[in-house]
């Protein structure tokens, strides 16, 4: 195969030029942990044809070191990835989203990190380079995915602890953590993550309320058992399995034509803060209503409003840079009176 080191440097240069990558430690981690080790032998972005490593090694490397997510599982493993079509349920995330969340995490050597969603193992490997393998615990709900990640990691010189379990519950045996990093989106921040993070520790996760855009959420854990933070940009990831949004099926439902004074573009092109506010209201009054909004993309380089369909890649690069305008406001995560996990907006900017 071609020069992997050259492709890695080109990837780093593109990520840095686009503003995704600024930290020298993450650049070094990318050099030390080659992405292709964690890529499936049949590379597929979910669009176009599949590229096989055996028959087209150079084209396979080009795709791996591009900035697309590569699908690694369909229908929770029930459908053959090499030939089938179905719901995308796991992937090797796009490089830009991976480094963006890692920069928000701001992990340092010696930090203890809980990584939720092992996937291919690439992010767990990068975290191991950043803080030390002995300080990383990576939890994966799917035993088959965890097994493949373990095989991938054996080809490197890092060895994070891999656990098969429910990532929403964290992993109490190694708590407390300095950092919690999630590679799956949540609509509700599991309070177990807050409980298992030390005061002053950081939680970084994709947040997908089920309406409009999905977001990068960064929380800081407070001494009183709450976590406070805000949204740094857009991030499109697959949902945590136990928090998947229901699919909306309009078949068999009566149709009604109505008019409104609200221009549809007001909703379709609303800023991210408005997405968050509307999503919260829609969830409260009509679960599943998120699927009724179908705005069109905002153009090249912009965000794609509206919920990602169930067959979207885990980490779509089609979103705005963190440096651009994004959602604002303060969010506080705390347990509800019933003890269930929740994320509650203390103040959001919907304009």
The answer to whether residues 215 and 319 touch, using CB atoms and an 8 Å cutoff, is no
Query: What does the angle CA 48 – CA 51 – CA 55 come to, to the nearest 5 degrees?
Result: 145
Catalytic residue among 25, 55, 90, 93: 93
CA distances from 173 to 137, 170, 265 (A): 10, 9, 49
The candidate with the shortest Cα–Cα distance to 4, out of 38, 27, 39, 35, is 35
Length of the chain: 351
Of 178, 237, 245, 188, the C-alpha closest to 211 is 245
Among 302, 283, 304, 300, residue whose Cα is nearest residue 292:
283
Whether 131 and 199 have beta carbons less than 8 Å apart is answered as: no
Rounded CA separation 272/278 (Å): 10
CA distance 114 to 136: 6
Place of tokens 């590379």: 43
Measured CA to CA, the distance from residue 280 to residue 318 in angstroms comes to 23
Catalytic residue status for 316: no
Instruction: Please list the active-site residues.
Output: 93
């Amino acid at each position: 195969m071609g020069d992997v080191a050259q492709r890695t440097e080109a990837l780093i240069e593109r990520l840095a030029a686009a503003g995704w990558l600024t930290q020298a430690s993450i650049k070094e981690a990318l050099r030390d942990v080659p992405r292709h080790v964690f890529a499936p032998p049949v590379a597929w972005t979910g669009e176009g044809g599949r590229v096989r490593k055996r028959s087209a090694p150079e084209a396979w490397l080009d795709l791996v070191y591009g900035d697309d997510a590569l699908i690694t599982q369909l229908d929770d493993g029930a459908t053959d990835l090499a030939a089938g079509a179905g719901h995308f349920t796991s992937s090797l995330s796009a490089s830009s989203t991976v480094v963006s969340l890692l920069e928000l995490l701001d992990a340092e050597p010696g930090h203890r990190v809980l990584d939720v969603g092992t996937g291919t193992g690439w992010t767990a490997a990068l975290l191991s380079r950043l803080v030390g393998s002995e300080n990383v615990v990576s939890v994966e709900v799917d035993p088959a995915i965890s097994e493949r990640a373990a095989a991938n990691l054996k080809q490197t010189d890092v060895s994070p602890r891999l656990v098969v379990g429910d990532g929403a519950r964290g992993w109490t045996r190694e708590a407390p953590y300095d950092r919690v990093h999630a590679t799956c989106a949540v609509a509700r921040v599991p309070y177990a993550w807050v409980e298992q993070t030390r005061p002053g520790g950081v939680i970084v996760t994709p947040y997908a309320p089920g309406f409009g855009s999905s977001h990068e959420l960064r929380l800081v854990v407070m001494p009183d058992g709450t976590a406070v933070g805000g949204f740094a940009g857009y991030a499109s990831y697959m949902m945590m399995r136990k928090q998947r949004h229901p699919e909306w099926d309009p078949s068999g439902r009566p149709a009604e034509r109505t008019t409104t004074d609200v221009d549809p573009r007001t909703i379709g092109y609303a800023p991210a803060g408005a997405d968050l506010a509307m999503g919260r209201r829609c969830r409260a009054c009509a679960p599943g209503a998120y699927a009724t909004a179908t705005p069109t993309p905002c153009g090249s380089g912009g965000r794609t409003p509206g919920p990602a369909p169930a067959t979207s890649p885990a980490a779509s690069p089609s979103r705005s840079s963190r440096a651009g305008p994004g959602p604002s406001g303060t969010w506080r995560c705390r347990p509800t009176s019933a003890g269930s996990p929740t994320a509650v907006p203390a103040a959001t900017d919907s304009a």
